[in-house]
Amino acid sequence: MGKKKTIVCRCEDLTLEDVENAIDTGYTDLEELRKKLRIGMGPCQGRVCFQLVQKILEKKTGKKVPIKSLPKVRPPIIPVSLGTLASDEK
C-alpha cells in the first residue's frame, strides 16, 4: 500500500502535502494560497478547508493568520433549484 494522504480540500482534491509544498515555495498568506491551489473555489466555497489551511499556515509560518483574511460565505439571496437552472424556460 502507498503512503496515506491527508485530504484538506475535498472539492479541489488538495492534500496536506499540496498545501505544505505551496507554503514552502513562498505562498505565505491565505489569498496567495487560494489563488495558487483554488482553495475555497469548489462547491463548499471554503466552508471546510479555509480553517484547515489557516491552521496549517499558522503552524508552518509561526504567524497568526487574522480572521478578517478568511473569505465571507455568500449564499444565494434566493435559493434556486437545480431543475430551474437546468431548464430551457426563461
C-alpha cell at 4: 496515506
Residue of 60, 70, 53, 64 whose CA lies nearest to 14: 53
Going by pLDDT thresholds of 50, 70 and 90, the confidence category of residue 1 is low
Q: Are 19 and 32 within 8 A, CB to CB?
A: no
Residues 6+ away with beta carbon under 8 Å from 17? 5, 6
- Domains in the chain, start-ordered, CATH in brackets? 7-86 (1.10.10.1100)
Going by pLDDT thresholds of 50, 70 and 90, the confidence category of residue 2 is low
Output the pTM of the full model. Answer: 0.71
pLDDT digits (tens, 9 = 90+) for 40-49: 888 888 888 8
How do strand 14-15 and strand 7-9 relate by DSSP bridges? antiparallel
Q: With 90 as the cut, is the pLDDT of residue 86 above it? A: no
